[in-house]
């Protein structure tokens, strides 16, 4: 049973074999109430959490507060990899536009499965933003993804004069956006190119 639990923890992003074992043994040490509460939360996550059809953010409630807000600037669209990036940018408190969660980055092999490029193209085509900010992590896969996004959006950006910018390099190469502090995100957003 512990081996099976460790296998599941290994599927979590950023969790290696030692950490997966620590998680499994931690759960084995907990009392019954803790593990029952955790089991209940895990089993109810799909019932309680919704995914926005516009930005693909996970949220609780009836509507995505960001997409339904009238105070958000509809002329700016920030493309990010995952939900935790959105949370980190929101915490910085400097951005007030809309978002689009791509669902990851394209590996160097060029595998585009599970990424929302078609949905992104449709969103940009319908909503006609004036600026698109590529707010991806500072690594090789993210750069590859950014180039691909620029390529697929080129017909729209040329005909509609959409400005496509990237975060300034306030972010170190190899840094994941979810681990960046607010000040770094503020500088990267201010210095976008």
Q: Among residues of the chain, what percentage have pLDDT more than 90? A: 65
Give the pLDDT score at 12. Answer: 92
Per-residue pLDDT reduced to its tens digit, 59-117: 998 889 999 999 999 999 999 999 999 999 999 888 999 999 999 998 887 677 789 99
Same domain, 185 and 129: yes
Give the pLDDT score at 158. Answer: 86
Same domain, 35 and 107: no
Give the pLDDT score at 169. Answer: 63
Same domain, 45 and 123: no
Same domain, 97 and 174: yes
The DSSP letter of residue 82 is: S
Contacts of residue 191, defined as CB under 8 A and 6 or more positions apart, other chains included, come to 167, 168, 169, 170
Per-residue pLDDT reduced to its tens digit, 65-75: 999 999 999 99
Same domain, 145 and 70: yes
50 pairs with which residues across the strands?
59
Same domain, 62 and 126: yes
Both tokens assigned to 146: 């950014």
Q: Is the pLDDT of residue 123 over 90?
A: yes
Give the domain extent around 9.
2-49
Same domain, 180 and 91: yes
Same domain, 100 and 117: yes
Per-residue pLDDT reduced to its tens digit, 130-188: 999 999 987 888 889 999 999 999 999 888 899 999 876 656 666 777 777 776 777 77
| Structural domains counted in the chain | 2
């Amino acid at each position: 049973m512990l081996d099976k639990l460790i296998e599941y923890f290994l599927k979590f992003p950023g969790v290696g074999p030692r950490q997966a074992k620590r998680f499994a043994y931690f759960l084995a040490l907990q009392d019954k109430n803790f593990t029952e509460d955790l089991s209940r939360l895990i089993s109810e996550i799909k019932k309680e959490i919704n995914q926005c059809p516009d930005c693909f953010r996970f949220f609780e409630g009836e509507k995505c507060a960001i997409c339904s807000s009238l105070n958000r600037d509809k002329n700016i669209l920030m493309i990010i990899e995952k939900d935790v990036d959105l949370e980190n940018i929101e915490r910085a408190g400097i951005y007030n536009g809309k978002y689009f969660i791509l669902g990851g980055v394209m590996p160097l092999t060029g595998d585009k499965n599970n990424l929302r490029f078609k949905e992104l193209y449709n969103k940009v085509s319908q909503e006609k933003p004036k600026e698109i900010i590529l707010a991806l992590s500072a690594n090789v896969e993210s750069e590859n993804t950014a180039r691909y996004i620029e390529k697929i959006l080129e017909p729209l950006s040329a005909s509609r004069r959409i400005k496509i910018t990237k975060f300034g390099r306030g972010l170190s190469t190899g840094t994941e956006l979810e681990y960046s502090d607010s000040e770094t995100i503020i500088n990267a957003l201010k210095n976008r190119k």
